[in-house]
Amino acid sequence: MFEGFELENVDVGEVNLRVRHGGSGPPLVLLHGHPRTHTTWYDVAPRLADAFTVVCPDLPGYGQSSKPETLEDHSAHSKRAMARHIVALMRHLGHERFAVAGHDRGSAVAYRLTLDHPGVVTKLAILDGIPIGEHLSRADATFARAWWHWFFFGQLAKPAERVINADPDAWYGGDPEAMGAENHADFLRAIHDPETVHAMLEDYRAGLGPDREADDADKAAGKKIECPLLVLWSSLDDLEDLYGDPVAVWREWAQDVRGFAIESGHHVAEENPADLAAALREFLG
């Protein structure tokens, strides 16, 4: 995987991040979703490396990045905290300004980074996501039935860690043929680590608390994403079923928005890397 890329662990102060980076050109950071690691980009990053310096970290708490301290308010796992760590990582690698693309939970880190550090991000790509605050303010029985895991992960009375750690393979699934053998092996290592499972669930607990509070505060203040925004969603997933046109949702959050569906299931980087890389290349210019 990632031929020509360098793999290292970077101390950014509060956490250590495992990161793969390579290529040449303007910097682009790719942020994975739950429950993947940075290796989900194994067939996307090399397709972009001729035109961009591509940086693929394990999000804080995920994969082999270190685990933030567990706090009562879950703020150490908030998207604001994660975004701060990604900015520190990129500065460590010599990039003061950069483009960001995030998938799933990584998309929440990506837009939060853009809102909190507007002078840093040149362009933003959101894959299979809308703001967490929008998800929760629009939640209805259909959302609860399809995305019930948000609330299962978020509660503490009967922690989801007990269920998941009893049989991670049954819970998370994962097909080595579909995912790629090395990517699948990295994924397995992550989901079989109880500390990683706990950190991934803390991400969702932060989603119901400090992440929603940050989104609601920005929306009430009329804060907008200032850089160009590309919204991509998987045609075989349920984002359109839940919200209609995702671009219309994002128009309430950004000044310059465009987007379209890509033929794929949820894990688009693994299922349709060619079309995803082509869309990112065209948007990022």
254 secondary structure, DSSP code: B
Tell me the C-alpha distance between 117 and 79, whole Å: 13
The bridge status of strand 257-262 relative to strand 229-234 is: parallel
**With contact defined as beta carbons under 8 Å apart, do 101 and 38 qualify?**
no
DSSP 183-240: HHHHHHHHHT-HHHHHHHHHHHHHIIIIIHHHHHHHHHTT--B-S-EEEEEETTSSHH
1: burial class by Cβ within 10 Å (0-12, 13-18, 19+)? middle
Q: CA angle 23-28-32, nearest 5°? A: 105
- Tell me which residue has tokens 């219309």: 248
Rounded to an integer, what distance in angstroms lies between the CA atom of residue 191 and that of residue 197?
Answer: 6
- Asked if 98 and 23 touch (Cβ cutoff 8 Å), the reply is no
Residues designated catalytic:
104, 266
The Cα–Cα gap between 70 and 158 comes to 17
Can you read off the two tokens belonging to residue 175? 């097909």
Q: What are phi and psi of 241, to 5 degrees?
A: -60, -35
Helix (H) or strand (E) holding 274: helix 273-284
